Amino acid sequence: MREWLWRHRMTAFPCVIVLGASAAFLVSLASGTAWPLALVIVLVNAMWWGGILYLIVRAARKRTRTLEDQGIIVYIRYPGSRPGSLGDVWAGGTANFHPGQIVFQETMAGTDVPLGKPTKLDIVAAAGRLRPDASGLANHLPPGLGVMTLALARGTVEIAAEPSALARLEQEVFRSSPTV
């Protein structure tokens, strides 16, 4: 259900506003409020929540555009690392792909503000196949992301991103890597 709502959020959220407004109108009528007053109250509330939804969507689109200008939006974690590190926490940010290397720039959650210096990940090989659904791994990841495990010189890293971004990662990091 969560994934369906995420994929259809531009349709589902306005429908929820309309259903909520209809329910509020019926409740107002049942409580004895005159129908013109109930209609005005419901319309004002629907416009209020519709405006808030518009502002949230506009801010999210602006953030996504800004991040996509900096690179591809990805989430990474280091499974099997020491407690207190990024072993089970997904760090979001942007990545640029180079042959045999990924440059990851973490960003502050919900913004496009970079955190610290970019991290260069020297990729040795793909340690696992693409898993098409990341929803079972962490609830704080957006639905619809795929996860790929990559082997580094020291350990592994898991990268979650849109399937098209992971395909681009495979193409740019592995297939075009120089032969040694």
CA atoms within 13 A on the CB side of 138: 20
Domain end marker among 20, 46, 67? 67
Same domain membership, residue 79 and residue 52: no
Domain end marker among 67, 86, 103? 67
**Total domain count for the chain?**
2
The dihedral sign for the CA sequence 121, 124, 130, 134: negative
pLDDT tens string 151-179: 888 888 888 888 888 888 888 887 654 54
Length of the chain: 180
| Other CB atoms within 10 Å distance of the CB of residue 114 | 14
pLDDT tens string 37-63: 989 988 898 889 889 988 988 887 887
Same domain membership, residue 62 and residue 75: no
Residue 151: domain span = 71-175
180 in a structural domain: no
